[in-house]
Structure 1
Amino acid sequence: MICPTCKSDMIVVEHSNIELDYCTNCRGVWFDSGELELLMESMEMESPNQLFGDIVNSPEAASTEKKRKCPLCGHKMKKTIIGEQPEILIDVCQQGDG
Protein backbone atom coordinates (compact mmCIF):
# COMPACT_ATOMS: atom_id res chain seq x y z
CA MET A 1 0.00 0.00 0.00
CA ILE A 2 1.15 3.54 -0.71
CA CYS A 3 1.10 6.06 2.16
CA PRO A 4 -1.60 8.71 1.56
CA THR A 5 0.61 11.37 3.19
CA CYS A 6 4.13 10.96 1.79
CA LYS A 7 3.52 8.43 -1.03
CA SER A 8 6.11 5.95 0.33
CA ASP A 9 5.51 2.20 0.42
CA MET A 10 3.91 1.08 3.67
CA ILE A 11 4.81 -2.14 5.48
CA VAL A 12 2.42 -4.50 7.25
CA VAL A 13 2.97 -4.83 11.00
CA GLU A 14 1.02 -6.92 13.47
CA HIS A 15 -0.16 -5.50 16.76
CA SER A 16 -2.57 -7.36 19.06
CA ASN A 17 -3.31 -9.82 16.22
CA ILE A 18 -4.36 -6.93 13.95
CA GLU A 19 -2.48 -6.28 10.70
CA LEU A 20 -1.81 -2.55 10.31
CA ASP A 21 -0.17 -0.68 7.46
CA TYR A 22 2.72 1.46 8.72
CA CYS A 23 4.80 4.08 6.92
CA THR A 24 8.43 3.95 8.02
CA ASN A 25 9.04 7.33 6.35
CA CYS A 26 6.41 9.59 7.98
CA ARG A 27 5.28 7.11 10.69
CA GLY A 28 1.66 7.20 9.56
CA VAL A 29 -0.63 4.27 10.31
CA TRP A 30 -3.54 3.06 8.17
CA PHE A 31 -6.38 1.22 9.89
CA ASP A 32 -8.69 -0.74 7.59
CA SER A 33 -12.37 -0.46 8.44
CA GLY A 34 -12.98 -1.78 11.96
CA GLU A 35 -9.31 -2.21 12.91
CA LEU A 36 -9.10 0.90 15.09
CA GLU A 37 -12.05 -0.31 17.15
CA LEU A 38 -10.49 -3.80 17.44
CA LEU A 39 -7.23 -2.28 18.66
CA MET A 40 -9.02 -0.25 21.32
CA GLU A 41 -10.97 -3.33 22.45
CA SER A 42 -7.70 -5.30 22.70
CA MET A 43 -6.40 -2.54 24.99
CA GLU A 44 -9.41 -3.28 27.20
CA MET A 45 -11.06 0.08 26.75
CA GLU A 46 -14.53 -0.25 28.19
CA SER A 47 -16.27 1.36 25.25
CA PRO A 48 -14.26 2.44 22.19
CA ASN A 49 -17.37 4.23 20.93
CA GLN A 50 -17.11 6.66 23.85
CA LEU A 51 -13.78 7.83 22.42
CA PHE A 52 -14.51 7.55 18.72
CA GLY A 53 -18.26 8.12 18.61
CA ASP A 54 -19.62 7.74 15.12
CA ILE A 55 -16.48 8.67 13.17
CA VAL A 56 -18.05 8.36 9.75
CA ASN A 57 -20.95 10.70 10.57
CA SER A 58 -18.95 13.25 12.56
CA PRO A 59 -18.59 16.76 11.12
CA GLU A 60 -15.63 17.82 9.02
CA ALA A 61 -12.86 19.33 11.15
CA ALA A 62 -11.48 22.76 10.33
CA SER A 63 -7.93 22.23 9.08
CA THR A 64 -5.43 23.94 6.83
CA GLU A 65 -4.01 20.56 5.81
CA LYS A 66 -4.66 19.37 2.28
CA LYS A 67 -7.21 16.54 2.03
CA ARG A 68 -5.55 13.17 1.50
CA LYS A 69 -6.79 10.47 -0.85
CA CYS A 70 -7.75 7.06 0.50
CA PRO A 71 -4.98 4.58 -0.42
CA LEU A 72 -7.62 1.95 -1.23
CA CYS A 73 -10.32 3.72 -3.28
CA GLY A 74 -8.66 7.04 -4.18
CA HIS A 75 -11.50 9.27 -2.92
CA LYS A 76 -10.63 12.33 -0.84
CA MET A 77 -10.91 11.60 2.87
CA LYS A 78 -12.70 13.66 5.49
CA LYS A 79 -10.71 15.17 8.34
CA THR A 80 -12.34 14.67 11.71
CA ILE A 81 -11.39 14.93 15.37
CA ILE A 82 -11.64 12.04 17.81
CA GLY A 83 -11.17 12.17 21.55
CA GLU A 84 -11.29 15.14 23.83
CA GLN A 85 -8.03 15.36 25.79
CA PRO A 86 -6.05 15.28 23.62
CA GLU A 87 -8.00 15.82 20.43
CA ILE A 88 -6.64 13.74 17.56
CA LEU A 89 -7.11 14.79 13.93
CA ILE A 90 -7.63 11.78 11.65
CA ASP A 91 -8.48 11.20 8.01
CA VAL A 92 -11.53 9.01 7.35
CA CYS A 93 -12.54 7.38 4.07
CA GLN A 94 -16.19 8.26 3.48
CA GLN A 95 -16.54 5.12 1.35
CA GLY A 96 -15.90 3.02 4.48
CA ASP A 97 -12.42 1.74 3.60
CA GLY A 98 -10.69 2.94 6.76
Structure 2
Amino acid sequence: MQCPKCHSVMELIVEPEASAHRCTQCKGLWFEMMAHETLKHRAEEIDTGDPAQGEACNKVDRIKCPVCIGSRDLIRMVDPQQPHIWFESCKNCYGRFYDAGEYQDFAEIEFADLIRDWNAPERS
Protein backbone atom coordinates (compact mmCIF):
# COMPACT_ATOMS: atom_id res chain seq x y z
CA MET A 1 0.00 0.00 0.00
CA GLN A 2 1.16 3.53 -0.77
CA CYS A 3 0.64 6.59 1.41
CA PRO A 4 -2.13 8.81 0.03
CA LYS A 5 -0.22 11.95 1.10
CA CYS A 6 3.42 11.41 0.11
CA HIS A 7 3.09 8.19 -1.95
CA SER A 8 5.77 6.34 0.06
CA VAL A 9 5.37 2.72 1.12
CA MET A 10 3.18 2.06 4.15
CA GLU A 11 4.15 -0.64 6.64
CA LEU A 12 1.57 -2.92 8.22
CA ILE A 13 1.27 -2.65 12.00
CA VAL A 14 -0.42 -5.72 13.42
CA GLU A 15 -1.88 -5.60 16.91
CA PRO A 16 -3.98 -8.37 18.51
CA GLU A 17 -7.21 -6.33 18.19
CA ALA A 18 -6.76 -4.81 14.73
CA SER A 19 -4.15 -3.55 12.29
CA ALA A 20 -3.15 -0.22 10.77
CA HIS A 21 -0.70 1.02 8.16
CA ARG A 22 2.01 3.63 8.86
CA CYS A 23 3.85 5.54 6.15
CA THR A 24 7.59 4.91 6.21
CA GLN A 25 8.25 8.54 5.22
CA CYS A 26 5.67 11.00 6.63
CA LYS A 27 4.45 8.58 9.35
CA GLY A 28 0.78 9.16 8.49
CA LEU A 29 -1.61 6.38 9.52
CA TRP A 30 -4.31 4.50 7.63
CA PHE A 31 -7.00 2.62 9.54
CA GLU A 32 -9.60 0.27 8.10
CA MET A 33 -13.21 0.80 9.20
CA MET A 34 -13.45 1.26 13.01
CA ALA A 35 -9.82 0.23 13.66
CA HIS A 36 -9.12 3.82 14.75
CA GLU A 37 -11.50 3.27 17.69
CA THR A 38 -10.27 -0.23 18.50
CA LEU A 39 -6.62 0.83 18.66
CA LYS A 40 -7.01 4.10 20.63
CA HIS A 41 -5.33 2.60 23.71
CA ARG A 42 -2.24 1.87 21.56
CA ALA A 43 -2.02 5.33 20.00
CA GLU A 44 1.36 6.13 21.56
CA GLU A 45 2.88 2.95 20.11
CA ILE A 46 1.31 3.39 16.67
CA ASP A 47 1.57 7.15 16.06
CA THR A 48 5.35 7.58 16.17
CA GLY A 49 5.63 10.49 13.74
CA ASP A 50 6.63 14.08 14.38
CA PRO A 51 3.51 16.24 14.94
CA ALA A 52 5.22 19.19 13.21
CA GLN A 53 5.67 17.10 10.06
CA GLY A 54 2.06 15.94 10.40
CA GLU A 55 0.89 19.54 10.59
CA ALA A 56 2.74 20.32 7.35
CA CYS A 57 1.22 17.23 5.67
CA ASN A 58 -2.24 18.22 6.90
CA LYS A 59 -2.21 21.01 4.30
CA VAL A 60 -2.41 18.32 1.60
CA ASP A 61 -6.12 17.57 1.53
CA ARG A 62 -6.99 16.29 -1.93
CA ILE A 63 -5.94 12.68 -1.69
CA LYS A 64 -7.12 9.30 -2.93
CA CYS A 65 -8.12 6.22 -0.95
CA PRO A 66 -5.14 3.84 -0.79
CA VAL A 67 -7.48 0.82 -0.63
CA CYS A 68 -10.43 1.31 -2.97
CA ILE A 69 -10.19 0.33 -6.61
CA GLY A 70 -10.60 3.36 -8.83
CA SER A 71 -8.81 5.65 -6.39
CA ARG A 72 -11.80 7.27 -4.74
CA ASP A 73 -11.30 10.76 -3.33
CA LEU A 74 -11.06 10.97 0.44
CA ILE A 75 -13.11 13.66 2.14
CA ARG A 76 -11.77 16.02 4.81
CA MET A 77 -13.47 15.41 8.15
CA VAL A 78 -13.36 17.21 11.48
CA ASP A 79 -13.55 15.29 14.75
CA PRO A 80 -16.73 16.62 16.44
CA GLN A 81 -15.29 16.28 19.96
CA GLN A 82 -11.95 17.86 18.99
CA PRO A 83 -12.52 20.25 16.05
CA HIS A 84 -8.80 21.03 15.78
CA ILE A 85 -8.26 17.49 14.43
CA TRP A 86 -8.78 17.17 10.69
CA PHE A 87 -8.52 13.72 9.10
CA GLU A 88 -9.45 12.20 5.75
CA SER A 89 -12.03 9.46 5.29
CA CYS A 90 -13.26 7.25 2.45
CA LYS A 91 -17.01 7.29 1.73
CA ASN A 92 -16.74 3.78 0.27
CA CYS A 93 -14.64 1.65 2.67
CA TYR A 94 -14.87 4.01 5.68
CA GLY A 95 -11.10 3.94 6.17
CA ARG A 96 -9.41 6.93 7.82
CA PHE A 97 -6.07 8.68 7.35
CA TYR A 98 -4.45 10.63 10.19
CA ASP A 99 -1.31 12.72 9.73
CA ALA A 100 1.61 12.17 12.12
CA GLY A 101 0.63 13.23 15.64
CA GLU A 102 -3.09 13.52 14.89
CA TYR A 103 -4.04 10.02 15.99
CA GLN A 104 -2.32 10.34 19.34
CA ASP A 105 -4.11 13.65 19.84
CA PHE A 106 -7.42 12.07 18.74
CA ALA A 107 -7.00 9.24 21.26
CA GLU A 108 -6.33 11.57 24.20
CA ILE A 109 -9.16 14.01 24.83
CA GLU A 110 -7.96 16.29 27.60
CA PHE A 111 -9.28 19.37 29.31
CA ALA A 112 -6.64 21.44 27.47
CA ASP A 113 -8.21 20.30 24.16
CA LEU A 114 -11.59 21.61 25.24
CA ILE A 115 -10.12 25.01 26.17
CA ARG A 116 -8.17 25.20 22.88
CA ASP A 117 -11.28 24.34 20.87
CA TRP A 118 -13.45 26.89 22.65
CA ASN A 119 -10.88 29.59 21.86
CA ALA A 120 -10.12 28.42 18.31
CA PRO A 121 -11.08 30.74 15.45
CA GLU A 122 -13.75 29.51 13.05
CA ARG A 123 -12.38 27.62 10.01
CA SER A 124 -13.92 28.13 6.64
Displacement of 1:31 in angstroms is 0.2
Give 2:79's aligned amino acid: I
The share of aligned pairs that are identical, in percent, is 30
Structure 2: 5+ residue runs without aligned partners?
Answer: 42-57, 96-124
**Aligned-residue CA RMSD (Å):** 2.2
The aligned residue for residue 50 of structure 1 is none
State the number of aligned residues: 77
Higher helix fraction: Structure 1 or Structure 2? 2
Deviations, residues 31-86 of structure 1 (Å, cap 9, x unaligned)? 0112112123xx3xxxxxxxxxxxxxxxxxxx964411000111001001115446
Higher relative contact order (CA 8 A, sep 6+): 2
Does the alignment pair 1:92 with 2:76?
no
Distance in 2 separating the partners of 1:64 and 1:22: 18
The aligned residue for residue 76 of structure 1 is 73
Deviating beyond 3 angstroms after TM superposition, the runs of 4 or more aligned structure 1 residues are: 63-66, 83-86
The aligned residue for residue 62 of structure 2 is 67
Cα distance, 1:89–1:11 mapped onto 2, change above 3 Å: same
